[in-house]
Amino acid sequence: MKAEVIGLDGKKIKTIDLPEQFNEDYEPDLIKRAILAINSHGRQAYGTAYQAGMSHSAKLSRRRRNYKGSYGKGISRVPRKTMWRRGMQFGWVAANAPGTVGGRRAHPPKAQRIWDLKINKKERKKAIRSALSGAVLNSQLLIIEDKIENLKKIKDVKTVFTTLGLNITAKKIQRAGRGKSRGRGIKYSKNPLIVVAKKCDFINAVSNLPGYDVVDVKSLNAQLLTLGHDKIRKCIFTESAVSTIGKEKLFSGDKK
CA angle 103/105/107 to nearest 5° reads: 155
pLDDT at 213: 94
- The CATH classification number of 2-43+115-247 equals 3.40.1370.10
**C-alpha–C-alpha distance, residues 210 and 187, integer Å:** 9
Q: How many residues in the chain?
A: 256
Parse the chain into domains and list their residue ranges.
Answer: 2-43+115-247, 75-113
The pLDDT tens digits along the chain (256 residues) read 899 999 999 999 999 999 999 999 999 999 999 999 999 999 999 999 989 999 999 988 999 988 888 998 899 989 999 999 998 889 999 999 999 999 999 999 999 999 999 999 999 999 999 999 999 999 999 999 999 999 999 999 999 999 999 999 999 999 999 999 999 999 999 999 999 999 999 999 998 899 999 999 999 999 999 998 889 999 999 999 999 999 999 999 775 4
Helix axes 28-41, 121-137, angle to 10 degrees: 120
Residue 159, pLDDT score: 94
Distance CA 144, CA 236 (A): 7
Q: Which of 140, 148, 133 minimizes the C-alpha distance to 197? A: 148
* Confidence (pLDDT) at 230: 85
Residues 160, 213, 254: CA angle, nearest 5 degrees: 110
User: What is the residue-wise DSSP string for 169-180?
Assistant: S--EEEPPSGGG
